[in-house]
Amino acid sequence: MRRFTALAQVWTLIALFVFFGLASDSFMRAVNLRNILIQVSTLGVFASGMTFVLLLGEIDLSIAALAALSAMISAHLFANLDYQEPIPMLAGVGAATIAGLISGLTSARFRIPTFMTTLAMQLIASGLVTYISKGRVITSVSEWSAYLGSHRIGGKDGLPVIVLVALACLAVGYFILRYTRFGRYVYMTGASKPAARLAGVNTSMVLVVVMTISGFFAGLAGIVSMGRLHSAQPDATESFLMDTIGGVVLGGTSLMGGRGGMLQTLIGLLIYGTLRNGLDNIPSIDIYLKEFITGAVLLGALMVNTVFAGRAERDKTI
């Protein structure tokens, strides 16, 4: 029974595939399945950082704004100031990483909840995006970002590079959490911060590093998103915050910390992408009801998965 409940997310994913496969003739086509992977790939980059944050029992509300800031800085340097790669990309991702570091240091040093520090950072980043862009879209992006966001290996029907980027990010996160001392410290701190301190873990430093990691992945996600859209838009990443949190939690990572991992995040992203795509492939569903249905199904899945996860073992590192 414990194994069955531990795989609740897998059963959810299978059930969604069976339902939409029977309800839509186009859902199971190879091109549509590839579209699902593409649709969740940017979320996968975001989620690689958010998984660390949620495992620690914290939250990062700034990731969407940091992604927009990263993309806007990179595009501005390339299109308006004529800097060539890799300077624009490094500057964009570096700015988001530093912002994450500042959020972590502020929370750790002054004991301010990450909810508040990242909310403030969200406003700071959004203000910088508006200042740099003056509200305008920058349509000239570098070949590097276009390659990461839009290129396909093997021709028109080949494997999108953006999928490989997302898998690489999730794989790096998996390796850190599974095989490094820092990964164990993340689980220990998330499960019980006082116990981790008694065991000699510098929980403040763990928090700073995790928030920095989150900022880095948010910045990279901004570059990838810009490459996919072939433009840097001030509001292009606004929806990614809730989508990312929903995808990670759907996979079974606890909002309270200490339970979850990258494999669970991958499954959660596939559940989220399957649900979104499947609803779009059923023409009989009113377009104005799709957001309502998505929210209702997500709420139900979250409740079911949370109940099942509560019956499973506390610490799941894979």
The CATH class that applies to domain 2-311 reads mainly alpha
- Digit-coded pLDDT (tens) for 2-45: 555 557 788 888 998 999 999 888 899 988 999 999 999 999 99
Which residues contact residue 241 at a Cβ distance below 8 angstroms, ignoring those fewer than 6 apart?
61, 63, 64
Q: What residues does each domain of the chain span?
A: 2-311
Do residues 169 and 48 lie in contact, with contact meaning Cβ atoms separated by under 8 Å? yes
- Digit-coded pLDDT (tens) for 266-311: 999 999 999 889 888 887 777 778 888 878 877 776 676 566 555 4
The whole-number average pLDDT for the span 146-173 is 92
Residues 176, 180, 182, 187: is their CA dihedral positive or negative?
A: positive
The whole-number average pLDDT for the span 99-120 is 96
- Mean pLDDT value across the chain: 89
Give backbone dihedrals phi and psi of 153, rounded to 5 degrees, phi first: -85, 120
Q: What is the pLDDT of residue 4?
A: 54
Cα separation, 145 vs 85, whole angstroms: 9
Do residues 259 and 315 lie in contact, with contact meaning Cβ atoms separated by under 8 Å? yes
Q: What is the pLDDT of residue 284?
A: 78
Q: What is the pLDDT of residue 285?
A: 79
Q: What is the pLDDT of residue 145?
A: 94
